Amino acid sequence: QSEIAITNDDVRQLDRSYVFHSWSMQGNLNPMVIAGAKGCELWDYDGNTYLDFSSQLVNVNIGYQHPRVLAAMKAQLDELVTIAPATANLARGEAAKRIVELAPEGFSKVFFTNAGADANENAIRMARMYTGRDKVFSAYRSYHGNTGSAIAATGDWRRVPNEYSRGHVHFFNPYLYRSEFNATSEAEECERALAHLRRMIECEGPTSIAAILLESIPGTAGILVPPAGYMQGVRALADEFGIVLILDEVMAGFGRTGSWFAFEQDGVVPDLITFAKGVNAGYVPAGGVLISAPISHYFDDHFFAGGLTYSGHPLAMAAIVATLDAMKEEKVVENAAAVGNGVLRPGLDALAAKHPLIGNVRGRGMFQAMELVSDRKHKTPLAATDMAAIKTALTQAGVLSFVVENRIHVVPPCTMSAEEVTRGLAIFDRVLSQFGYLSR
């Protein structure tokens, strides 16, 4: 009796019949089908394989099907698969201890959530309770998740149909390539962005502002590495006005930039850190808020009005413990720095030198972006249809890419080898040559 082989079409049809997708019109979707994955490679049911330069939604930092993480999850399944958050649980304690130990001095506790959005939701809640203030400042160029306050704090277009939360104020973060401040150097961009933020704080009333929420490096908004001094300037403004500084490390954290947290490279220490994605590479949904001692102690004798049924779910916690241990022992963060800064980035710079389509390259470690333009002088963003065609060509050539607007975010797993990066870059080179005619 022969088994009937599953095809991509079978899985796609099943999906299209029953699954409702995120951020889309449901009518004409054609989702990619993936059957399996290992390391940095994925495959479908029809025999196609792909090298991953997307880490899915920039979360599979440790690569796919890491044997050690899978083994820890299987052991946790046999031991205890679920337990309420009010209990003390070994895996939860071990996960929290490891995360606190990675944080800068002065951080003391972790509140676990299901993902990144509710991490920001709860960080905002903590800041409001701690300060007794209401307003939350965040950047127009940002994404913080799709729940009430997190989507209202988000700056990009996805906020607009979801603006039901009160007290959110947006400001422009620095982005020299498309400066809002007419700046011509990083130093000027930094200075003017900080002056703008100061004026916004003054005009909104400093004593009404609970928190400034910022991605350490805005990710989906374009991997906008802040200029030297900007994060320190924001920290100084927060200190001056008694505002809680929340840094969102959901995408940039856990090795992505070549350090455990992205903000470490900017010489700042926030008051709250939100995380998710890379903490366990998304093997089980999990996120959380890392809480500095003063805020954590405040809640020793003030009621924390927040909670989730699955806060610190044992299976997610076991995946965190094993992911962090494996990352340390296998030097995954060091790999992200060495291969990201030493192979990937020079490779992208070489592509930019060859292809006029590439207007700008920026990033740190395994967190890089190329901005594609039809005209370098005027920085004209490449049209959406052209970007879609490039993405399709990359996929057909065997590379999974992360395309946002006119950008390709080049964000492979932090475990990717120099050889794999080089192999992928050769495919980028070929595909960009194919589309060279789009550049004027």
Closer by beta carbon to ligand PLP, 313 or else 355: 313
What is the Cα gyration radius of the chain?
Answer: 22
Closer by beta carbon to ligand PLP, 107 or else 143: 143
258 binds ligand PLP (CB under 6 A): no
| Rounded-to-integer distance, Cα 289 and Cα 311, Å | 11
Type of residue numbered 415:
T
233 binds ligand PLP (CB under 6 A): no
Closer by beta carbon to ligand PLP, 131 or else 220: 220
Taking the complex as a whole, the smallest distance from the CB of residue 222 to ligand PLP amounts, in Å, to: 12
215 binds ligand PLP (CB under 6 A): yes
115 binds ligand PLP (CB under 6 A): yes
CB under 8 Å to 328, separation ≥6 — which residues? none
Closer by beta carbon to ligand PLP, 312 or else 359: 312
| Rounded-to-integer distance, Cα 260 and Cα 252, Å | 9
| Rounded-to-integer distance, Cα 120 and Cα 99, Å | 17
For residue 168, which phi and psi values (nearest 5 degrees)? -105, 135
Span from 133-141, 143-151, 196-204, 385-393 in contact with ligand PLP (CB under 6 A): 143-151
Closer by beta carbon to ligand PLP, 189 or else 215: 215
Span from 114-122, 308-316, 325-333, 429-437 in contact with ligand PLP (CB under 6 A): 114-122
253 binds ligand PLP (CB under 6 A): no
| Rounded-to-integer distance, Cα 174 and Cα 226, Å | 6
219 binds ligand PLP (CB under 6 A): yes
Sign of the CA dihedral running 68, 72, 77, 81: negative
250 binds ligand PLP (CB under 6 A): yes
Q: Which of 145, 226, 270, 365 binds ligand PLP (CB under 6 A)?
A: 145
Closer by beta carbon to ligand PLP, 55 or else 374: 55
Residues 267-326 that bind ligand PLP (CB under 6 A): 276, 287
389 binds ligand PLP (CB under 6 A): no
Q: Which of 338, 240, 227, 262 is nearest to 102 (CA)?
A: 262
Residues 36-65 that bind ligand PLP (CB under 6 A): 57
| Rounded-to-integer distance, Cα 60 and Cα 281, Å | 4
Closer by beta carbon to ligand PLP, 45 or else 172: 172
CB under 8 Å to 106, separation ≥6 — which residues? 269, 292, 293
116 binds ligand PLP (CB under 6 A): yes
Closer by beta carbon to ligand PLP, 281 or else 431: 281
* 191-229: b (≥16 Cβ within 10 Å) or e: bbbbebbbebbeeeebeebbbbbbbbbbbbbbbbbbbeb
User: With CB under 6 A, what is the number of residues at the site for ligand PLP?
Assistant: 16
Tokens of residue 357, six digits: 């389509």
| Pairing mode, strands 41-43 and 107-113 | unpaired
Cα→Cα distances 433→122, 207, 393, 427, Å:
46, 55, 11, 10
Taking the complex as a whole, the smallest distance from the CB of residue 69 to ligand PLP amounts, in Å, to: 18
Q: Which residue is nearest to ligand PLP (CB)?
A: 116
216 binds ligand PLP (CB under 6 A): no
| Helix H or strand E segment including 420 | helix 418-434
Closer by beta carbon to ligand PLP, 120 or else 257: 120
| Pairing mode, strands 49-52 and 399-400 | parallel
Q: Which of 76, 89, 220, 335 binds ligand PLP (CB under 6 A)?
A: 220
261: left (phi over 0), alpha (psi -120 to 50) or beta: beta
The answer to whether 53 touches 400, Cβ cutoff 8 Å, is yes
Interface characters, 155-184, with ligand PLP (x: CB under 6 A):
------------------------------
Give the binding site for ligand PLP (CB under 6 A). 57, 115-117, 120, 143-145, 215, 219-220, 248, 250-251, 276, 287
